[in-house]
């Protein structure tokens, strides 16, 4: 069979670091080992029943068996506006400031193609979500990394950027609560971001995927709550994390009218909108009781507390994340993140994601997901303890 060469564009895409991790995990499982996988970001809880019921009922409606409106149903965009007003006190024009997305990832990858030309510069958090890199590559743009350091709360320090880079930048990605670090942003930081973006003519893309998940009584804030935010950017929200709808592939962008128009224009050429029944169920999720969300956050917080306590008990000095469903844990001295992850997989049969997979400044850490039961989290800590890598805490009687 003839093999056709891939385009130069496809060849230019960044290599998927975590594909090799999946292969390693698969081999260990194939050997018959019981593997505790803390390396993934796939929610483990089912979609709330009332949302599933809404889909089941709507799926029988012949109206939704035809093509949906290209840019989505107005009732869903109106639900998004009501959601933002209720949750964040932000007023949104549903027709001009909301774009329906085929999942948050699709929007994040599309944005650079909507706004950038080859050679344009994008400011990207390091460590950060690797799919930002994919969108930049597809637009044939260039990345300038913004280091996220523990001493600055894993927030970028704009003073650290070289002036010529700031002047060239056209786009910036931010993500709070943060993947992979679990950090959250302050309103002061978002206000600084608006000022920085205004000064340099930068469009801000805030990835708010974990917007519902904040711990210790802290509700994560929306970038759009900062004065002037809609003038300089947008926020991308997904149903995947808040409502455990990862497999449903639905999200939305909200904010600057010109950016929303660009997204809609690109999607006009790519899609004919989402199945209407999914849109109706999504509206039910946004407008209905949020008790399921509160319960989910409580579940993650309980898991976080269990994990952090168990790891500290075995002598691993870790910091509890403030949000998201990830913990960002320091690698022991003398190890790279990939070496440490390999040892945990091979010797303890525990999967963690090496920090280097999220960028150069991710080195020195591993990412752990809170996406399994507390019993399995405790068992993972116990397995790691048997490796004698950490000095167990000494208890005083």
The CA-based angle 330-38-26, given to 5 degrees, is 120
CA 7 vs CA 131, 133, 135, 177, 321: distances in Å: 19, 18, 16, 36, 41
158 and 173 share a domain?
A: yes
The predicted structure's pLDDT at residue 392: 61
41 and 67 share a domain?
A: no
- pLDDT per residue over 121-169, tens digit each? 999 999 999 999 999 999 999 999 999 999 999 999 999 999 999 999 9
Terminal-to-terminal C-alpha distance of the chain: 73
59 and 172 share a domain?
A: yes
175 and 206 share a domain?
A: yes
- pLDDT per residue over 47-82, tens digit each? 999 999 999 999 999 999 999 999 999 999 999 999
Q: Is residue 312 part of a domain?
A: yes
CATH label of the domain that carries residue 321: 3.90.1150.10
> Which of 37-46, 270-279, 383-392 comes out lowest in average pLDDT?
383-392
Q: Which of 270, 287, 304 is the last residue of a domain?
A: 287
- pLDDT per residue over 282-315, tens digit each? 999 999 999 999 999 999 999 999 999 999 999 9
E strands, the chain, are 36-37, 98-101, 121-126, 142-147, 169-175, 203-207, 233-238, 251-255, 326-330, 350-351, 353-354, 365-369
76 and 23 share a domain?
A: no
Parallel, antiparallel or unpaired: strands 169-175 and 121-126: parallel
The CA-based angle 28-179-383, given to 5 degrees, is 35
296 is written with which tokens?
A: 């989910």
253 and 356 share a domain?
A: no
Q: Is residue 367 part of a domain?
A: yes
312 is written with which tokens?
A: 């500290």
Tell me which residue range forms the domain holding 170: 49-287
271 is written with which tokens?
A: 């899609």
pTM across the whole model: 0.96
15 and 143 share a domain?
A: no
Q: Which of 227, 252, 287 is the last residue of a domain?
A: 287
> Which of 91-95, 358-362, 392-396 comes out lowest in average pLDDT?
392-396
Q: Is residue 343 part of a domain?
A: yes
Q: Are the C-beta atoms of residues 211 and 222 closer than 8 Å to each other?
A: yes
Q: Is residue 393 part of a domain?
A: no
The predicted structure's pLDDT at residue 395: 47
Q: Is residue 397 part of a domain?
A: no
84 and 13 share a domain?
A: no
184 and 84 share a domain?
A: yes
Averaged pLDDT for residues 348-352: 96
pLDDT at 103 over 90: yes
Residue 33: strand, helix, or coil: coil
Question: Taking all residues of the chain, what is their mean pLDDT, rounded to a whole number?
Answer: 95
Instruction: Count CB atoms within 10 A of the CB of residue 7.
Output: 8
64 is written with which tokens?
A: 């939704």
Q: Express as a percent the part of the chain with pLDDT over 90.
A: 93
298 and 185 share a domain?
A: no
150 is written with which tokens?
A: 């523990």
* Number of domain units in the chain: 2
Q: Which of 269, 287, 305 is the last residue of a domain?
A: 287
74 and 201 share a domain?
A: yes
245 is written with which tokens?
A: 């709808």
Helices 257-270, 104-115: axis angle to 10 degrees equals 100
Q: How confident is the model at residue 394 (pLDDT cuts 50, 70, 90)?
A: very low
CATH label of the domain that carries residue 105: 3.40.640.10
201 and 233 share a domain?
A: yes
The predicted structure's pLDDT at residue 113: 96
365 is written with which tokens?
A: 């850490």
Q: Computed over its alpha carbons, how large is the radius of gyration of the chain?
A: 21
């Amino acid at each position: 069979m003839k093999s056709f060469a891939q385009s130069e564009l496809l060849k230019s895409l960044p290599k998927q670091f975590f594909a090799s991790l999946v292969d390693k995990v698969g081999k260990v499982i194939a050997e018959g080992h019981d593997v505790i996988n803390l390396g993934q970001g796939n929610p483990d809880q089912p979609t709330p029943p009332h949302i599933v019921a809404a889909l089941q009922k709507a799926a029988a409606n012949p109206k939704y068996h035809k093509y949906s409106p290209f840019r989505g149903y107005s009732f869903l965009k109106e639900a998004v506006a009501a959601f933002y007003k209720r949750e964040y006190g932000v007023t949104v024009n549903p027709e001009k400031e909301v774009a329906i997305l085929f999942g948050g990832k699709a929007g994040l990858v599309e944005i650079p193609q909507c706004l950038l030309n080859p050679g344009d510069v994008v400011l990207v958090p390091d460590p950060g979500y690797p799919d930002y890199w994919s969108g930049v590559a597809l637009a044939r743009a260039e990345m300038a990394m913004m280091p996220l350091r523990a001493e600055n709360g894993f927030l970028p320090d704009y003073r650290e950027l070289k002036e010529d880079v700031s002047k060239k930048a056209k786009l910036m990605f931010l993500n709070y609560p943060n993947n992979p670090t679990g950090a959250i942003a302050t309103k002061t930081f978002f206000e600084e971001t608006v000022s920085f973006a205004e000064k340099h003519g930068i469009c801000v893309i805030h990835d708010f995927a974990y917007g519902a998940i904040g711990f210790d009584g802290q509700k994560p804030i929306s970038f759009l709550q900062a004065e002037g935010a809609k003038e300089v950017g947008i926020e991308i929200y997904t149903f995947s994390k808040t409502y455990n709808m990862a497999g449903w592939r639905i999200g939305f962008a909200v904010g600057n009218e010109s950016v929303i128009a660009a997204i809609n224009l690109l999607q006009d050429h790519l899609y004919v909108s989402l199945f209407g029944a999914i849109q109706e169920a999504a509206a039910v999720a946004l407008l209905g009781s949020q008790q399921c969300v509160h319960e989910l956050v409580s579940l993650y917080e309980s898991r976080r507390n269990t994990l952090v306590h168990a790891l500290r008990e075995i002598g691993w000095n870790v910091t509890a994340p403030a949000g998201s469903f990830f913990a960002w844990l320091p690698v022991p001295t003398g190890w790279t993140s990939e070496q440490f992850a390999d040892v945990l997989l091979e010797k303890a049969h525990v999967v963690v994601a090496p920090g280097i997979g999220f960028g150069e400044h991710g080195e020195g850490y591993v990412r752990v997901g809170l996406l399994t039961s507390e019993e399995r989290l405790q068992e993972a800590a116990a397995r790691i303890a048997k490796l004698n890598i950490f000095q167990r805490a000494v208890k005083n009687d």
